[in-house]
Amino acid sequence: MDLILFGPPGAGKGTQAKVLQDERGLVQLSTGDMLRAAVAAGTELGRKSKAIMDRGDLVPDDLVVGIIAERLEKPDCGKGVIFDGFPRTVAQAKALDAMLTSRGRKIDAVIELKVDDEAMVGRMESRVRENPGEARADDTPETLRKRLGVYRQNTEPLLDFYRGQDKLVTVDGMAPIADVSAAVRGVVGRVGEAS
């Protein structure tokens, strides 16, 4: 089963992806985590991405599509993947469809965590407060607003793309974490039975 967790920065995609990873044995692929690892390791990809990420813009499609294509080759992805933070543009979504089709796979469901922007700024501020010393370079109120703007402009149009494929399921991301997990679990259970 291959799934996409969809939603703006701070919506809780990573938290829910980890739940599914633990409970379903799916592999979480977060392009944000992969890019941060590349930055930390000082690879060419990291050098190309760092300034772009720090200002809250999108890394070019070919670079993120490349890291996903490479990662999908690994055997642990065979059982299924939860895409977290990818795709973020229609071009990425089309590239992902092509990659999966060539492997005889497809996206089974896109789970949208629906939240409101102002709450996201508050969440990020408390995440920074509660984890001193671990703040990401892009976790400032200004950059978060920029990332939310990029999300609205470049990523939100994907909702229509997946609605058109009849794959979009929306969950209330403002509910308590356990309730969001229960709703996500419900969706995944139904998709699992249907496939």
Q: Which residues are catalytic?
A: 13, 88, 127, 136, 147
| 42 vs 189 by CB, closer to ligand ADP | 42
Judged by CB under 6 A, the chain residues 106 through 145 that form the site for ligand ADP are 138
Residue range at the interface with ligand ADP (CB under 6 A); choices 19-27, 54-62, 95-103, 181-189? 54-62
d(CA 90, CA 22): 29
User: Binding to ligand ADP by residue 173, rule CB under 6 A?
Assistant: no
Q: Does 27 bind ligand ADP (CB under 6 A)?
A: no
Query: What is the arrangement of strands in the sheet containing 2-6, beginning at the earlier edge strand?
Result: 27-30, 81-84, 2-6, 107-114, 168-172
- Whole-angstrom Cα distance, residue 46 to residue 85? 17
58 binds ligand ADP (CB under 6 A): yes
Say if CB 67 and CB 36 are below 8 A apart: no
Q: How far is the CB of 179 from ligand ADP (least distance, A)?
A: 21
Which of the stretches 52-60, 69-77, 100-108, 159-167 binds ligand ADP when contact is defined by CB under 6 A? Answer: 52-60
Residue 35 interacting with ligand ADP (CB under 6 A): yes
Q: How far is CA 83 from CA 10, 15, 94, 145, in A?
A: 15, 13, 14, 23
Please tell me whether residue 31 binds ligand ADP under the rule CB under 6 A.
Answer: yes
Pseudo-torsion of CA 157, 163, 9, 45, nearest 10°? -70
Give yes or no for a contact between 148 and 9, defined as CB atoms under 8 angstroms apart: yes
Q: Is 19 among the residues that bind ligand ADP (CB under 6 A)?
A: no
Tokens of residue 36, six digits: 């941060």
Q: Tell me which residues touch ligand ADP (CB under 6 A).
A: 9-10, 31-32, 35, 52-53, 56-59, 64, 85-86, 88, 92, 138, 147
